[in-house]
């Protein structure tokens, strides 16, 4: 059979473009079952993600003639999945449509409001082969595990699938199914995005030397799952499992030899679950993949020390992301992080920055217990670590996450479909107020943080009035007026 896998966009506009690793693993499963797989990624054919996606998908289906179309994405991909599945059903009533990954968090909506026939829950290494076999034989889905499906009697759920104990038994993703070089990230883009963060970073020269002559890096994973379940996290796997260091080294070497990969971005939910594994990983890089550089996308502040960080840096690490989320112990406890504001501060500035690793600060605001006082504590964290480049997102409550219980209890989202589309439009902007503070105060927290940090930056750097205007006043001006000012400055000089 021909199986078409669709990387369903999670945002309405630009953004979110990344290698669809989940679908590459699924594509490998399909091929090992003796079938043919193809991946359709709208991000590659329509940068604006407009209505042409439907037409492009239609052309792909006509060319490939799949028996099954599978949708991968996250919960905010729901609206696009509904739109695409409806188009497919109109043109091909007989086609079987399935969905999985994090998109399965809205399984009930998919099976009652869209044309998707089957939703996979959890890992598909065992459930998908059984499904494809039953589809070929026409024996039905009742005896399968790890799925829910639409039947004449309504939505039917089957027992959960058993998780894979040894991740090393899973082959590498089927990278040949995509034009891999189109998913590389340019090192210069990384440098530009962290210009201020790198400005006074100890060891900046070491980072520049490490990436000198190298152009690009690509996502890779070495584990599945996490040891914690934060308030805003969707979790469709239990616990944390990690590939062996030997498997991870072989994976890196494969990408280097077959695709000319120069760097790696480990996008594990939790890279440093075990200290011994991290130290063995560093030994492995030094022994088997010398000369590479890498970024760590998910780490915990309570599981690092200076020795580990120095070892990571010495073997090519240039950046580590912790997801600090807040400077308030009250909010961190509510988030179920298992960490403290002091750990965030000490690990970020006294350890990670000290050894010379880039360390972005990521803040999530707007939990039910957030107040002006807890926001002030977060501002205090940002000032303490001199984080003049940082990301701020309002907490996004999504189906399948613990905080969704709060949303349902308060009746904050009467129309889930409409809400998911709104989230896809605005991302981490303020959408529903989970706190007890007034809406105008709640919505103003982002600008308050940015204003305080801009003033702090100007103060510490001893900058002039011109810099103060550019950093603090200009960002507050509406975009349309900014464009007028820009044109006037172009006509009459930059005074």
List pLDDT tens digits, range 418-459.
999 999 888 788 899 999 999 999 999 999 999 999 888 888
Task: Domain ranges for the chain, please list them.
Answer: 2-157, 184-444
Exposure on the CB side of residue 323, measured as CA atoms within 13 A: 20
| pLDDT at res. 226 | 92
Q: Which residues, 6+ apart, have CB-to-CB distance to 434 below 8 Å? A: 366, 367, 368, 370, 395, 397, 403, 406, 407, 412
Closest CA to 285 of 264, 307, 319, 315: 315
Beta bridge partners of 265: 219, 295
Residue 85: count other Cβ atoms within 10 Å of its Cβ.
23
**Minimum mean pLDDT range among 70-84, 196-210, 422-436:** 196-210
493 pLDDT higher than 50: no
Q: Please give the structure tokens belonging to residue 415.
A: 């129309």
pLDDT at 478 over 60: no
- Contact between 199 and 35 under an 8 Å Cβ cutoff? The reply is no
**Both ends of the chain: CA-CA distance in Å?**
66
Cβ-contact 398, 76 below 8 angstroms: yes
- Report which of 391, 362, 363, 375 is spatially closest to residue 435, judged by C-alpha positions: 375
Q: What is the CATH number that goes with domain 2-157?
A: 3.40.50.280
Mean pLDDT of the chain: 90
How confident is residue 489, by pLDDT bands cut at 50, 70 and 90? Answer: low
Mean pLDDT value across residues 180-184: 93
Residue 155, helix vs strand vs coil: strand
What CATH architecture is 184-444?
Alpha-Beta Horseshoe (3.80)
pLDDT at residue 241, rounded to an integer: 95
- Contact at 8 Å (CB) between 187 and 214? yes
- With b meaning 16 or more CB within 10 Å and e meaning fewer, what string describes 418-446? ebbbbbbeebbebbbbbbebeeeebebbb
Nearest to 423 by CA among 7, 13, 8, 50: 13
Q: Hey, which residues does 216 pair with through a beta bridge?
A: 186
Residue 201's alpha-carbon distances to 302, 310, 360, 387, 434, in angstroms, are 22, 15, 12, 11, 37
Q: Hunting for tokens 């308060």 — which residue is that?
A: 410
pTM beyond 0.85: the answer is: yes
Looking at residue 12, its pLDDT comes to 62
> pLDDT of 346-394, one tens digit each?
998 889 999 999 999 999 999 999 999 999 999 999 999 988 889 999 9
Q: Which of 247-256, 261-270, 300-309, 481-490 is predicted least confidently?
A: 481-490
Tens-digit pLDDT profile for residues 251-303: 999 999 999 999 999 999 999 999 999 999 999 999 999 999 999 999 999 99
Please count the residues of the chain.
495
Question: Would you place residue 196 in the very low, low, confident or very high pLDDT band (cuts 50, 70, 90)?
Answer: confident
pLDDT in tens, 14-52: 555 789 999 999 999 999 999 999 999 988 875 455 558
Write the pLDDT tens digit of every residue in 126-167. 999 999 999 999 998 888 999 999 888 889 999 999 999 999
pLDDT, position 495? 41
Confidence at 465, pLDDT banded by 50, 70, 90:
low
């Amino acid at each position: 059979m021909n199986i078409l896998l669709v990387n369903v966009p999670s945002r309405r506009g630009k953004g979110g473009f990344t290698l669809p690793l989940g679908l590459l693993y699924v594509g490998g499963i399909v091929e090992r079952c003796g079938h043919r797989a193809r991946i359709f990624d709208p991000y590659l054919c329509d940068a604006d993600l407009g209505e042409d996606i439907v037409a492009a998908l239609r052309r792909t289906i006509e060319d490939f003639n799949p028996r099954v179309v599978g949708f991968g994405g996250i919960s905010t991909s729901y609206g696009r999945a509904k739109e695409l599945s409806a188009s497919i059903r109109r043109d091909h009533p007989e086609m079987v449509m399935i969905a999985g990954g994090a998109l399965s968090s809205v399984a009930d909506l998919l099976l009652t409001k869209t044309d998707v026939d089957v939703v996979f829950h959890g890992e598909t290494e065992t459930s998908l082969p059984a499904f494809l076999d039953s589809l070929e034989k026409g024996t039905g889905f009742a005896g399968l595990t790890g799925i829910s499906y639409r039947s004449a009697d309504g939505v039917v759920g089957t027992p959960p699938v058993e998780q894979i104990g040894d991740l090393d038994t899973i082959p590498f993703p089927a990278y040949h199914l995509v034009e891999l070089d189109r998913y590389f990230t340019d090192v210069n883009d990384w440098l530009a995005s962290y210009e201020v963060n790198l400005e006074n970073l100890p060891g900046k020269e070491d980072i520049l030397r490490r990436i000198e002559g190298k152009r690009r890096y690509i996502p890779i994973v070495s584990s599945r799952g996490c040891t914690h379940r934060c308030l805003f996290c969707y979790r469709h796997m239990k616990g944390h499992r990690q590939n062996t260091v030997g498997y991870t080294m072989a994976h890196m070497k494969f990408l280097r030899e077959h695709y000319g990969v120069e760097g790696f971005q480990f996008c594990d939910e939790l890279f440093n679950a075990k200290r011994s594994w991290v130290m063995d990983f560093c030994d492995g890089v030094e022994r088997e993949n010398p000369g590479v550089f890498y970024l760590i996308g998910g780490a915990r502040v309570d599981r690092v020390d200076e020795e580990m960080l120095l070892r990571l840096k010495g073997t090519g690490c240039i950046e580590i992301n912790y997801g600090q989320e807040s400077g308030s112990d009250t909010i961190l406890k509510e988030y179920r992080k298992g960490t403290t504001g002091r750990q965030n501060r000490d690990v970020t500035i006294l350890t990670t920055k000290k050894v010379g690793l880039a360390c972005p600060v990521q803040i999530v605001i707007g939990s039910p217990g957030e107040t002006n006082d807890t926001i002030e504590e977060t501002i205090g964290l940002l000032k303490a670590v001199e984080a003049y480049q940082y990301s701020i997102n309002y907490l996004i409550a999504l189906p399948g996450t613990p905080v969704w219980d709060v949303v349902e209890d308060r009746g904050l989202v009467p129309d889930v479909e409409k809400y998911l589309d709104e989230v896809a439009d605005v991302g981490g902007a303020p959408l529903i107020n989970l706190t007890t503070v007034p809406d105008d105060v709640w919505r103003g927290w982002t600008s308050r943080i940015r204003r305080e940090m801009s003033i702090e930056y100007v103060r510490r750097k001893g900058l002039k009035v011109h810099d103060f205007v550019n950093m603090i006043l200009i960002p507050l001006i509406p975009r349309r007026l900014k464009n007028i000012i820009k044109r006037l400055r172009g006509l009459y000089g930059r005074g």
